Amino acid sequence: MTLANRSLVTIDDFSYGEIEALFNLTDEMSGAMDEQYGLCHGKIMASLFFEPSTRTRLSFETAMHRLGGSVITAADVGATSLAKGESIADMARVVGSYVDMIVIRHPWEGAAKVVADYSGVPVINAGDGGHQHPTQTLCDLYTIKKEKKTLKGLKIGLWGDLKYGRTIHSLIFALAKFGANILFYPTPGLEVPEHVLEKLTMEYGGELEKYATPDTASKEKLFPLDAIYLTPSSPHQLAMMPDVNLQVELKTGIDALYVTRPQKERFSAAEKGEELREKYPVVDKKLLRGREFKKTLVMHPLPRVDELALELDTDPRSMYFKQAARGVPVRMSLIALLLGAKDAAIPQEAAPSIAYPVYRRDYGPRCPNQRCVSVQETEVKYLKPEYKIVNRNPLTLRCAYCEHGFEPEYVASSDWHEGKTATKKYHSASSHWADKIRPENLIVFRSNQDAETLGFKPSRYVKIRRRRKGTQK
């Protein structure tokens, strides 16, 4: 099995075994950095960073240079044809014809997937809005594994902005993939989005216990705990005595604390108007003096603002500068594998990833996420609505670009009406008809107006619903 010509858009694109193989190659390269020069001789990487970046951009470009390759770059949307209205797909086709690989950072969630779909070359997502940042996650996992020798069964605390932190979203799925337990410590109002938690429990199993108040954690001089995720491999049963078992979990020690800054550039207008200083306490030696933090790795994707005290820089528990330094060999191994300059022995996976049916039509509901690339490029006709059907009861669709999910109000079938206007009926998505429609025939609507605009008429299964809304006369 090889990773050549693959893309890394989300952390789910790589299996557990593939990430382990990448880490083995990273170990090999780290021990002999100078010997890697020439592996990618003659190869060109496009570095497209349409949001600010220091570590990610420079580590990628350094990695390519250390492999003997070349880099071309664009770092300002205003200086590209995107500012003239060019579509991301057209840009991807053109740039893909110039280079062997594209690394892209873009403010729109799902933009990296569009580039991967249209460029014809391997694409690496260097951060797409608040969606994911998979290569940062590879650096984070690699650091934890190097320091703790394993990830399985560890307790990893996630602190700060868990709503907009794309590094957090990638890391959550990766930690679950590696069998770690996750403690969620969000700033109030910046909790993990529900669509991320739903995917976590749906695809990785395990147990998610939410807490209504942080009182129990406060008594133990810990910062507020919002929820805890226990991997399926964990022997603990929080459901039996959640408060008691929680304290047992915490007193045995937290293995790593992953701190994030407030992502103010993605805040809504209301969030920008709030004072976060009191809500966002500083992680310092005073906070970490408890017994449960004695051997805790302090991690941060950087840049930091005020949430991480400078006094921790010399603390042996601090890992954030090691994380940044390890970004070069991790990305060297990734580039070499995707370009086919190196191969790796990848073990066969015991359990394949879930293959969901896909909903794709020329018309259909827009993604509810306003930051999604499919919403931002509304005038570009090439980008059709595309969703994974992740649940049938209730019917739930997940956007293929940004991974936000929604439950449609109404459904119809392209098979039942047989092109006859009189039999083009739509039904409530909560009715038994939703389960009977085959995925390839499914048509979904966000509202009855959407259905009727396309010539569908309500069946008797939506009349009561319409009357309750005051739309039936």
What's the CATH code of the domain at 382? 2.30.30.20
Estimate to the nearest angstrom the gap between the alpha carbon of 106 and the chain centroid: 14
The residue segments making up the domain with residue 440 are: 358-468
Above pLDDT 90, what percent of the chain? 53
Classify residue 379 by burial, with Cβ atoms within 10 Å: 0-12, 13-18, 19+.
Answer: exposed
Whether residues 315 and 204 fall in one domain: yes
User: How many Cβ atoms are within 10 Å of 455's Cβ, its own excluded?
Assistant: 9
Least-confidence region, from 33-37, 111-115, 290-294: 290-294
Whether residues 175 and 234 fall in one domain: yes
CA–CA dist 397, 403 (Å, integer): 9
Sheet holding 425-428, edge to edge: 442-445, 410-413, 425-428, 457-458
pLDDT digits (tens, 9 = 90+) for 137-185: 999 999 999 999 999 999 999 998 899 889 999 999 999 999 999 999 8
What are the angstrom distances between the C-alpha of 347 and each of 1, 267, 438? 8, 42, 35
- Is 409 among the domain residues? yes
- Is 352 among the domain residues? no
Whether residues 464 and 453 fall in one domain: yes
Whether residues 121 and 228 fall in one domain: no
Is the pLDDT score of 235 beyond 60?
no
Estimate to the nearest angstrom the gap between the alpha carbon of 295 and the chain centroid: 28
pLDDT digits (tens, 9 = 90+) for 417-444: 555 556 788 899 988 877 888 888 899 9
Classify residue 42 by burial, with Cβ atoms within 10 Å: 0-12, 13-18, 19+.
Answer: exposed
CA–CA dist 43, 98 (Å, integer): 10
123-145: string of b/e by CB count within 10 Å (b at 16+)? bbbbbbbbbbbbbbbbbbbbbbb
Beta bridge partners of 298: 257, 318
Whether residues 440 and 376 fall in one domain: yes
Number of structural domains found in the chain = 3
Looking up tokens 């403010």 gives 107
Whether the full predicted model's pTM is greater than 0.85, yes or no, is yes
- Is 348 among the domain residues? no
- Is 445 among the domain residues? yes
CA–CA dist 63, 342 (Å, integer): 14
Q: What angle do CA 291, 293, 296 make, to 5 degrees?
A: 145
Whether residues 15 and 112 fall in one domain: yes
Whether residues 101 and 176 fall in one domain: no
Question: For the residues 6-10, what does the mean pLDDT come to?
Answer: 97
Per the CB < 8 A criterion, the answer to whether 67 and 29 are in contact is no
Whether residues 243 and 170 fall in one domain: yes
Is the pLDDT score of 380 beyond 80?
no
- Per-residue pLDDT band for 468 (boundaries 50, 70, 90) equals very low
Q: Which two tokens stand for residue 237?
A: 């049963």
- Is 2 among the domain residues? no
Which of 43, 75, 76 is CA-nearest to residue 332? 43
Helix (H, G, I), strand (E, B) or coil at 113: helix
Per the CB < 8 A criterion, the answer to whether 25 and 346 are in contact is no
Whether residues 68 and 106 fall in one domain: yes
Bin 253: left if φ > 0, else alpha if -120 < ψ < 50, else beta. left
Peptide bond before 303: cis, by omega within 30 degrees of 0?
yes
CA–CA dist 20, 14 (Å, integer): 10
Whether residues 127 and 141 fall in one domain: no
Whether residues 237 and 283 fall in one domain: yes
CA–CA dist 7, 104 (Å, integer): 12
- Is 147 among the domain residues? yes
- Is 351 among the domain residues? no
Looking up tokens 């990766």 gives 174
- Is 343 among the domain residues? no
The reported pLDDT for the residue numbered 144 is 97
Question: For the residues 292-303, what does the mean pLDDT come to?
Answer: 91
Is the pLDDT score of 112 beyond 70?
yes
Q: What is the CATH number of the domain that holds 189?
A: 3.40.50.1370
Final residue belonging to a domain, choices 338, 369, 395:
338
Whether residues 318 and 370 fall in one domain: no
